[in-house]
C-alpha cells in the first residue's frame, strides 16, 4: 500500500464531499479520490439547492454539522420559501446558486479540513479480504489502504451519454465515464441495474430577449438554510424568468421523436418520473398546448442560463429549432444541447440503515449509486455514510435516524426497506410525520445528536443552546402572561377579531387564525419588551408561533409516532429463516429473506409484507 487511511471516499460530488468532511471532522484520517479536482460539488444539472422536501433535508444536513447549507447560502443569487400559502410543514426553502462559486467554496472547505487529503485519479478496483474492505486501486496503479470505503460515483459508473442517435461514453458533459468497478462489485455478489437522467440545453443570455418574459423575483426578506448566525441571507438577488412552450414548439419536437433514444429503444435505463424530459411531457400530456419553463441564471458572473423543464435527448438540431420558437428565444445562441446519461446503480436494499453494504464489511454506498436523484438526497446520504464509516472505524454504535426524527431518516429507510424502481426523489408526502419534520425545527431535532457524535462543534452547539433558551423563554412568557380585554380589544379592528370578555393567556389568543405573534408584539408592550430584552431573533419568533399554533396537531402526531417506535424496538435476527415460517405468505418470505430487515418496524414497510405477516412475526419475536 502507498499509504493507509481510515476512510477512502470515491467521488467528489455532493455525497462524496459531505462524507469526506464529516468523517474527517469527527477524527478519521480521510482520502477523497476524484477524477477532476476542479469540479467538487458540481451542479451538473439545475444550479439550485432545496425545494419541496429537499429544502428541509438541507436544513437537517446543516443542523447535524454538514456543509451544504452554509455553502448554498454563501453562493445564493436568489432565495424563495416555497409553499408559503400552505401550512408550515410544507414550507420549503429553495436557493438559486452561483454554480461556479458553489464548487469553489466546496474546494476551499475540503482543503481547509484537517485530517482530509485529496487525490486526483480514478478508482478501478476495491480490495476485499475475508469479507471486509481493505483498500482501493486507482487507474495509475496506486494502492491505498483503508478500513472503510465510501463509494459515491454519481452518474459516472458505466456512464453513456445520448444526443439523438449519437451516444458516447461520459458521466457528464466534458467528463469521462468510469469503468471497472461495476464488474468488480458484481463479482462480489452485488446486484446492479441501469438508470437514466437528463439535462436541458444551456443558453447564452446575451442572445435572449428578457423584455418579453415574465420575471420571477426572490423573497423580499430572504431567509437562508444555515442556522449559524454568522452565515447571512443573500443581499442582491437576480431574477429568474417564466417562459412557455407552444404548439409550434411541440410540432418541432415531435418531428424528432423517431430519432429520440428514449422512444426508439436506445436508452434502457429508467428515468426520473418527477423530472421528465420535454419529449416525455409531450407524450404523457399530449393534450396540453403549452408547458411552463423557468429560465434561471447559472451565476452572477456568467451569461449562461439554464432552461428548467426543457431536459431533452433529442437530436441537437431538433432542440435548436424548437428553442428558437419560444417567445424571447427567437435568436438564442446555444452553448451546448441537452443530453441524457445512462449509468449503473446498485439496488439499495443491499444496504443497512448505516448505508454499509450487507455483503462487504466497511463498504458504504451513497448518492445516485443507490438509485436516488438530486443533490440534496445525495448530500444527505454522504453525510450518513461519512458519520457511520467513522463510527465503524472507532468501533462505536452506528448513527441511524428514525422516520419521525428527520427527512433523512425517511430517505434512508425508504431506500433500504422498499428499494427503488425509478430514480428516487424526496417529497413531503413520503414523510408520514411531516408535521414533526419542519424546516424551522431541524436544529431542535438534530443538533444535539450531531454534538453527541462529535460532528457539531462547540460553537454551533452554543448557538443552538442560546436559541433554545430564548425559544423556551418566549413560550413560557406566552403561556404565563395574561391580557385584559381593555388591553387587547382595541388593537385588532382591521381584522375579523372577536373581542375577549375576560382575561386570556397570550397563547390562547395566538391559537386564533387571525392573530399572529408579530401582531401581539405590536399590541402588548410587555411582550415587546421581553422580545427586546432577550434579543429574540425573527427565526425564533416564527418557530415559537408555529409550535404554539399547531401544538395540538404536533402532540397528536408525536403520540402516533411514539406508538410506532415500539415496533422499531423489536429486533429481528439477521440469520432468521423466514422460509421455515409457513404462516407467512410466499411473497413475504421472499422479501424478508432478501432484505433481512433489522426490526419489525422496518419489516412492516417492505412492499409485499402485509399486516397479517407482521402479526406472525410479532408472535415469533414477542409483542
pLDDT over threshold 70, residue 622: no
pLDDT band at 1 (very low <50, low <70, confident <90, very high): low
pLDDT in tens, 209-229: 999 999 999 999 999 999 999
Q: What is the mean pLDDT of residues 335-339?
A: 96
pLDDT digits (tens, 9 = 90+) for 136-157: 999 999 999 999 999 999 999 9
**pLDDT greater at residue 180 or residue 9:** 9
Which pLDDT score is estimated for 213? 96
- Determine contact, residues 46/306, Cβ cutoff 8 Å: yes
Q: Is the pLDDT of residue 493 over 60?
A: no
Q: Within 13 Å of residue 317, how many CA atoms lie on the same side as its CB?
A: 5
pLDDT score recorded for residue 176? 92
Count other C-beta atoms under 10 Å from residue 246's C-beta: 15
Model pTM score: 0.94
Choose the weakest-confidence range: 130-134, 285-289, 317-321.
285-289
In tens, the pLDDT along 261-314 reads 988 889 888 888 888 899 999 999 999 999 999 999 999 999 999 999 999 999
Q: How many residues does the chain have?
A: 623
Q: What is the mean pLDDT of the chain?
A: 94
- Determine the pLDDT at residue 175: 92
Is the pLDDT assigned to residue 501 strictly greater than 90? no
Interval 225-243 mean pLDDT: 97
Q: Count of alpha carbons within 13 Å of 341, Cβ hemisphere only?
A: 28
Residue 4 scores a pLDDT above 70: yes
| Res 526: pLDDT | 92
Three-state secondary structure string covering 313-376: CCCHHHHHHHHCCCCCCCCCCEEECCEEEEEEECCHHHECCCCEECCCECEEECCHHHCECCHH
Confidence band for 567, pLDDT divided at 50, 70 and 90: confident
Q: Position of cell 438509485?
A: 371
Average pLDDT over residues 580-593: 92
Residue 356's φ and ψ, nearest 5 degrees, are -80, 140
Cα dist. 130→127, 133, 188, 361, 382 in Å?
A: 10, 8, 12, 9, 26
Q: Tens of pLDDT along 442-475?
A: 999 999 999 999 999 999 999 999 999 999 999 9
State residue 92's pLDDT score: 96
- pLDDT (mean) for 572-581: 90
Calculate mean pLDDT across residues 318-339. 97
Quote the CA–CA distance of 389 and 364 in Å, as a whole number. 8
Amino acid at each position: 500500500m502507498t499509504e493507509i487511511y481510515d476512510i477512502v471516499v470515491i467521488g467528489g460530488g455532493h455525497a462524496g464531499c459531505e462524507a469526506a468532511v464529516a468523517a474527517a471532522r469527527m477524527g478519521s484520517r480521510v482520502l477523497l479520490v476524484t477524477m477532476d479536482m476542479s469540479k467538487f460539488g458540481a451542479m451538473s444539472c439545475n444550479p439550485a439547492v432545496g425545494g419541496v422536501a429537499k429544502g428541509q433535508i438541507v436544513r437537517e444536513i446543516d443542523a447535524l454539522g454538514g456543509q451544504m447549507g452554509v455553502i448554498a447560502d454563501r453562493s445564493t443569487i436568489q432565495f424563495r420559501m416555497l409553499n408559503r400559502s400552505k401550512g408550515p410543514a410544507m414550507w420549503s426553502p429553495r436557493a438559486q446558486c452561483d454554480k461556479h462559486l458553489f464548487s469553489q467554496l466546496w474546494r476551499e472547505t475540503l482543503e481547509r479540513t484537517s485530517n482530509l487529503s485529496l487525490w486526483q485519479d480514478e478508482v478501478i478496483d476495491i480490495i476485499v479480504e475475508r469479507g471486509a474492505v481493505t483498500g482501493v486501486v486507482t487507474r495509475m496503479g496506486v494502492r491505498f489502504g483503508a478500513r472503510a470505503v465510501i463509494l459515491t460515483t454519481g452518474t459516472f459508473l458505466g456512464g453513456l451519454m445520448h444526443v439523438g442517435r449519437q451516444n458516447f461514453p461520459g458521466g457528464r458533459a466534458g467528463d469521462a465515464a468510469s469503468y471497472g468497478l461495476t464488474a468488480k462489485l458484481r463479482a462480489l455478489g452485488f446486484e446492479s441495474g441501469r438508470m437514466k437522467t437528463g439535462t436541458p440545453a444551456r443558453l447564452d443570455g446575451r442572445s435572449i430577449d428578457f423584455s418579453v418574459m415574465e420575471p420571477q423575483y426572490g423573497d423580499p426578506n430572504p431567509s437562508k438554510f444555515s442556522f449559524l448566525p454568522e452565515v447571512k441571507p443573500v443581499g442582491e438577488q437576480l431574477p429568474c424568468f417564466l417562459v412557455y412552450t407552444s404548439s409550434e414548439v411541440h410540432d418541432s419536437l415531435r418531428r424528432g421523436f423517431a430519432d429520440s433514444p428514449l422512444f426508439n429503444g436506445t436508452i434502457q435505463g429508467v428515468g426520473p418520473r418527477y423530472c421528465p424530459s420535454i419529449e416525455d411531457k409531450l407524450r404523457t400530456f399530449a393534450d396540453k398546448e403549452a408547458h411552463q419553463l423557468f429560465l434561471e441564471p447559472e451565476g452572477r458572473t456568467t451569461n449562461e442560463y439554464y432552461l428548467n423543464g426543457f431536459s431533452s435527448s433529442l437530436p441537437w438540431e431538433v432542440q435548436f429549432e424548437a428553442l428558437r420558437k419560444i417567445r424571447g428565444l427567437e435568436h438564442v445562441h446555444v452553448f451546448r444541447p441537452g443530453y441524457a446519461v445512462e449509468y449503473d446503480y446498485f439496488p439499495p436494499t443491499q444496504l443497512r440503515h448505516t448505508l454499509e453494504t450487507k455483503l462487504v464489511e466497511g463498504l458504504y454506498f451513497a448518492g445516485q449509486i443507490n438509485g436516488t436523484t438530486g443533490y440534496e438526497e445525495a448530500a444527505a446520504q454522504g453525510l450518513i455514510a461519512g458519520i457511520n464509516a467513522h463510527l465503524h472505524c472507532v468501533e462505536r454504535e452506528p448513527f441511524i435516524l428514525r422516520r419521525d426524527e428527520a427527512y433523512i431518516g425517511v430517505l434512508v429507510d425508504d431506500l433500504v426497506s422498499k428499494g427503488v424502481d425509478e430514480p428516487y426523489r424526496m417529497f413531503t408526502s413520503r414523510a408520514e410525520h411531516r408535521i414533526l419534520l419542519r424546516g424551522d425545527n431541524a436544529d431542535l431535532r438534530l443538533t444535539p445528536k450531531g454534538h453527541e457524535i462529535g460532528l457539531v462543534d462547540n460553537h454551533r452547539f452554543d448557538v443552538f443552546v442560546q436559541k433554545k433558551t430564548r425559544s423556551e423563554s418566549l413560550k413560557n412568557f406566552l403561556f404565563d402572561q395574561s391580557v385584559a380585554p381593555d388591553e387587547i380589544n382595541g388593537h385588532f379592528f382591521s381584522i375579523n377579531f372577536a373581542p375577549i370578555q375576560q382575561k386570556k393567556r397570550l397563547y390562547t389568543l395566538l391559537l386564533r387564525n387571525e392573530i399572529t405573534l408579530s401582531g401581539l408584539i405590536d399590541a402588548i408592550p410587555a411582550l415587546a419588551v421581553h422580545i427586546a430584552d432577550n434579543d429574540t431573533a425573527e427565526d425564533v419568533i416564527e418557530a415559537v408561533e408555529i409550535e404554539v399554533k399547531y401544538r395540538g396537531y404536533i402532540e397528536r402526531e408525536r403520540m402516533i409516532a411514539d406508538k410506532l417506535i415500539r415496533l422499531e424496538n423489536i429486533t429481528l435476527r439477521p440469520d432468521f429463516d423466514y422460509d421455515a415460517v409457513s404462516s407467512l405468505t410466499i411473497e413475504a418470505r421472499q422479501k424478508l429473506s432478501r432484505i433481512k430487515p433489522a426490526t419489525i418496524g422496518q419489516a412492516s414497510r417492505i412492499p409485499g409484507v402485509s399486516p397479517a405477516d407482521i402479526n406472525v412475526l410479532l408472535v415469533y419475536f414477542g409483542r
